[in-house]
Structure 1
């Protein structure tokens, strides 16, 4: 096994795990949901006078950027969900699986 110093000096020797294939729409919608809940909390705090409008604006920008992320995901969905040949669970070329 290579030492940490050796791996830092020669990054090409590292073994990287293959990236996970996930549905980005779910991830982005989860982030938007978190920003919406933050917006509700910030709005309540603003209504009670415990904070300024900066938190509300930050959460609103997070929601807008999440919407931009959804638009990006929609246009690139075929690229990141395309089947990779030879990946486990993908059907073979013969069609017999």
Structure 2
């Protein structure tokens, strides 16, 4: 797995996702998730946030917003989730000898 992070401006994210919200009307789930993000950003009192990305060995991807010190995850950006196309098979129990 790989974890990357970086600071970003709350105002910049708010501006970007407020604009994107206008283009999500054809996808109810994306629209709802983007509206949740915009609402969170409007309420967030600090000037900066950390964007934290999490990549799994099997190709999964998740994106979160954390406080600037990266001590607390504040928001899960579900619209960016990517799950592996072929999830790993669950281990099978050993066959019982008859």
Structure-1-length-normalised TM-score: 0.30
Structure-2-length-normalised TM-score: 0.30
* Bigger Cα Rg: 1
Indicate the structure with greater helix content: 1
Indicate the structure with greater strand content: 2
